[in-house]
Amino acid sequence: MTDAEILSVLRPDGTADPAHDPGLPDAELLSLYRHMVLLRTVDEKAITLQRSGRIAFFVPSTGQEACSIGAGHAVREGDWIFPAYRDHGVGLMRGYPLASLIGQIVGHATDATRGRQMPNHWCDRSIRLVSVSSPVATQLPHAVGAAYAAKVRGERVAVLTTFGDGGTSTGDFHAAMNFTGVFRLPVVFFCENNRYAISHPVERQTAAGTLSEKAAAYGLPGVRVDGNDVLAVRKVVGDAMDRARAAEGGTLIEALTYRIGGHSTSDDPTVYRSEEEVAAWRAKDPIRRFAAFLKGRSLLEDPAAVEAEAKEEVRRAVEEAEGAPPVPLSSMFEDVYAEIPWHLAEQRDSLLSGKG
């Protein structure tokens, strides 16, 4: 396959191309579907929470579920994940608990980061999912650092880092790609090309024909994949992760997809794109597309039941998170020093005594 070709597995008639089908067991196919539905349900609920003033902010991934769920399925125990803020699906697919994700969004006591991060800035040490950061593409050099450390230690693991098309316009992208190529590091760069860096179209970010062809400058293979095809994403990312674990170096993957909603709940996408464009991409919905495949395999009888189950699961998680107590004020003095120095302890005691 050449760089300009776009790998797809799911055909328009709902069947799969046997040449590229990753051949997942039925139970795993259903797990992919359920996680895609769950991810969209989280988006819908979180946007409602933000609009009603119950949370401050949210970054949705509607339309890109095949990317984060397909990529997340390719991660194995011991691998590292350095995600972008839109890829909470990677964490969910890897085992990040829904309750933890909702807890982080709400920011009460169930939030592992204790309310100190914006929503969509989650992390989980147990699955090596490193904290999301707001600046674009800063996670790429971090991922490369983890990969370099793994190579020095002789660990056969892969590092997955995800980012948008806007990330390829940064110096961090160049530095990370170049270091990976020179030192042959086990990093999979998964670029979700959803056409816009907030409001800036990809055509105004680069003069290159594709984003994946940039890999050649760093001595890495570049691959393009249909980002609305969960099986194609799973195939391409899985192959790249296997290659990384085998000490064969990194890969740049460009997944062609589309962000149906705004960049965040603070964004109005109608300012910079047309309803006709959005409608055309709605017709390529990755969840409906995968459902058609599962129905053809007699694996999915009642999509409505899966949706109802996801809504109830999210409802319970929100209820638990909102019912948790607020983060105690004293926590602002913790988690920086192993032992709180005297001046901070003095400030803490003054605050808690009401004299501060």
- pLDDT tens digits for the chain (356 residues)? 445 799 999 998 899 999 999 999 999 999 999 999 999 999 999 999 999 999 999 999 999 999 999 999 999 999 999 999 999 999 999 999 999 999 999 999 999 999 988 899 999 999 999 999 999 999 999 999 999 999 999 999 999 999 999 999 999 999 999 999 999 999 999 999 999 999 999 999 999 999 999 999 999 999 999 999 999 999 999 999 999 999 999 999 999 999 999 999 999 999 999 999 999 999 999 999 999 999 999 999 999 999 999 999 999 999 999 999 999 989 999 988 999 999 999 999 999 998 75
Alpha-carbon dihedral 311, 315, 318, 323, rounded to 10 degrees: -170
Q: Which residue has the tokens 């809504």?
A: 311
- How far is residue 80's CA from residue 288's CA, in Å, rounded to a whole number? 30
Whether 138 and 174 map to the same domain: the answer is yes
Catalytic residue among 156, 272, 315, 316: 272
Tell me the HSE value of 79 on the side-chain side, using a 13 A CA sphere: 30
Q: How many residues does the chain have?
A: 356
Whether 127 and 256 map to the same domain: the answer is yes
**CATH (domain of 31):** 3.40.50.970
Q: Catalytic residue at 315?
A: no
Domain assignment of residue 217, yes or no: yes
Tell me the HSE value of 355 on the side-chain side, using a 13 A CA sphere: 6
Strand partners of residue 201: 196
Number of domains, the chain:
2
Domain assignment of residue 142, yes or no: yes
Whether 70 and 107 map to the same domain: the answer is yes
Domain assignment of residue 344, yes or no: yes
Q: Catalytic residue at 263?
A: yes
Whether 286 and 335 map to the same domain: the answer is no
Tell me the HSE value of 302 on the side-chain side, using a 13 A CA sphere: 5
Domain assignment of residue 1, yes or no: no
Whether 315 and 354 map to the same domain: the answer is no
Q: Catalytic residue at 73?
A: no
Whether 226 and 85 map to the same domain: the answer is yes
Strands 222-226 and 251-256: parallel
Whether 89 and 147 map to the same domain: the answer is yes
Catalytic residue among 35, 94, 108, 263: 263
With contact defined as beta carbons under 8 Å apart, do 235 and 20 qualify?
yes
Whether 159 and 100 map to the same domain: the answer is yes
Boundaries of domain holding 354: 330-356
Catalytic residue among 40, 259, 289, 348: 259
Q: Which amino acid is at 262?
A: G
